[in-house]
Amino acid sequence: MATMTYCPRCANPLTTKHDGGRERQACPDEVCGFIHFGDFSIGCSGVVLLEDDGVTKALLVQRGQNPFAGTWQLPGGYAEHDEPLSLAVEREVEEEASVVAKVRDVIAFRHSLGGTAGGPSTNIYIIFRLDLIEGEPKHDGVEIADAGFFSLDEIAAMDAVQGLSRWGIEQALVTEPGSGLTPDDGAPGAERPGWQLFGLETVDSRVWQS
């Protein structure tokens, strides 16, 4: 857990408090009530596939800046704290590769502890499958050094393709589109501001049979 010195709400020096079964940094002012539960972030990336003359190709971008400059990966990034996840990954795909795509479903996620490259100590990284709408891959030459759709054979021969991105593409290839968690605007609570619910579209009724 990251160490904080002062309360971000009222600037009082932080002490500790037993909460939820462990000691946590907390504000001593009971009116303020701030408790530090740790540093968290949500990352997202998108698998966008293209069929080109019977050949399946996947969208990849090459990082132009450190950390990991020169490596190839799925387009993606951090979700803003006030941004729905489906919009976050669609935004990142368009920002990094100039490709417009629409979320179909969630196909995988990674939970990591400890943080890397100075990032938050705990991260959830969600891999989405997106349907290509329009656009040709382009890059800004700064944050992204290159972008394109590549066949599986081309990806296998490329240097420095991140393993997690390879795995995400494999997940998209071995599952049916829509078989993952899909946004459900009709689910109970989905109408609440700030809520976005994901669920499985098809549930086998046999699981309820005894």
Give the count of domains, the chain: 2
User: Are residues 113 and 160 both part of a single domain?
Assistant: yes
Residue 112 Cα to chain centre, angstroms: 12
Residue 8 Cα to chain centre, angstroms: 27
User: Are residues 160 and 71 both part of a single domain?
Assistant: yes
The residues facing 131 across adjacent strands are: 102
CB count within 10 Å of CB 95 equals: 15
The pLDDT tens digits of the residues spanning 15-32 come to: 999 998 999 999 999 999
Could you say which DSSP state residue 207 is in?
Answer: G
User: Are residues 26 and 128 both part of a single domain?
Assistant: no
The pTM assigned to this predicted structure is 0.87
The pLDDT tens digits of the residues spanning 51-69 come to: 999 999 999 999 999 989 9
- In angstroms, rounded to a whole number, what is the distance separating the alpha carbons of residues 171 and 176? 10
The pLDDT tens digits of the residues spanning 92-136 come to: 999 999 999 999 999 999 999 875 555 557 899 999 999 999 999
By residue range, what is the domain housing residue 152?
A: 40-175
Binned at pLDDT 50, 70 and 90, residue 177 comes out as very high
